[in-house]
Every structure is written in C-alpha cells, then in structure tokens.
Amino acid sequence: MKIAIILSGCGNRDGSELQETLSLLLAIDRRNWQYQCFAPKGNLSVVSHVDGKEEGTRDIFAESARIARGNILPIEEYHAADYDALALPGGMGAARNLSTFAFDGANMTVRADVEMTILETFQACKPILAMCIAPMVLAKVLGSKGVLLTLGQPCAASEAAQQLGAKHQCCNPTEVCIDEQHKIYTTPAYMVGTRISEIFAGAENMIAALAERQ
C-alpha cells in the first residue's frame, strides 16, 4: 500500500507532532508499505517549545519538509487515485494551520486545499486515518456524514466534534476507533497518552486495523 500523509509544520505546539508523525511513518514502513508526505504552503505562527510564546512566522511547507527529510510534495499535487489511503498525524498544526479549531472551536473552518484533499479521498471510498487532534479536521469536513471518530475521552474537542455532526467514541491511547461504513480510522495519541510507547502502539494498531480490512 501507499499512504499519503498531510503534515502541518514541525512541532507539537504549532505543527505536526513529531513523535506521532514518526510513529505513523515507522508503523507504515514496518509493513513494507510506502508513504508520501504532503503539506500546504503558507505562513504559520511559530510557537516557542520552551516558553509557549509566539515568535514570528515560518512557511508550513518548509517546516513540514524537516520531518520528511525533504521528500515532500505540495498538497495541490495530491490525487486520490495514486494512493491507497490518506493520513493526518496530530499536533496543534492540525488545529492552527490546517484548520482554525484552536481559535474558533466548533465554528472552525478548514483550509480549502485540505478540505478538497479529504473530500476527494472520501468520495473515492478510500480510507482516511487521523491521530490526536487531527480528527477535528475530519469532523468539520465529514461531520455531516455522521462519521465516527475518537478524540480520546470526553473533552471540549469531542463536544465540538459532535456539534459538527460527528459521532464520538471514547478510546485509550493505544486503541483505534474504526468507522467501518466510512472507512475512517482514528487513534487518540497525545490527547490522552503520556508515553511515546503508547503513541507508537496506537499508530501500529491503526495501521494493523487498516491492513486487516484491505
């Protein structure tokens, strides 16, 4: 299988969460599958991982390239026909850069290019995977379809997801929520997890669940 991955920067406070992203990439690679990273272009507000203060701007695409070791494509080059599944790791970039959930809650919007990518994949009946806070992006784009997803335990995000029409399932960090009908796979990762081993187990279990259903 070949999986497309949407990144949102580099770092849990303002981009893709590194431990979640690398756990996902490793879980894919351990099955001898392939992956290709994508990211949108545009400025993100950089948040210091030392003191939480904002400190200027950087480009989402350039920051995402750090994780992908330079092997990354602009999101507009994504075509669902070329991939078997789409995946979104977590990190606040999903809530700040791919969407406005961090600022607007249930009144959030999703970047048009990200929304188009998700809808194209969904309409092609191909699986979509998401970790941590990234399921909020799916809740906004696909909530009207009544998709089932997890954001861990009951929280402000799970309430917002349900306001958008999505159904929420409580999960522990290593568990996977599977929406068989819509081919949506989600795991809560650092929404409830505290150890990197839990994050990797969740990613591994999510990829294993996908493999079982192909």
* Structure-block tokens of residue 155: 């929280």
Give CA–CA dist 134/128, Å, rounded.
Answer: 11
Give CA–CA dist 47/97, Å, rounded.
Answer: 12
Cα angle for residues 165, 156, 17 (degrees, 5° grid):
95
Backbone phi, then psi, for 203, in 5-degree steps?
-65, -45
Give residues with Cβ within 8 angstroms of 91, minimum separation 6: 8, 9, 11, 12, 13, 15, 16, 17, 18, 20, 21, 132, 133, 134
- Please indicate whether residue 170 is annotated as part of the active site: no
User: Which residue in the list 10, 37, 125, 132 is annotated as catalytic?
Assistant: 132
Cα angle for residues 53, 62, 68 (degrees, 5° grid):
105
Give CA–CA dist 128/175, Å, rounded.
Answer: 16
Backbone phi, then psi, for 8, in 5-degree steps?
-135, 25
Strand duo 177-179 + 184-187: pairing: antiparallel
- The dihedral over CA atoms of 130, 42, 50, 198, expressed in degrees to the nearest 10, equals 10
- Residues marked active site are found at 132
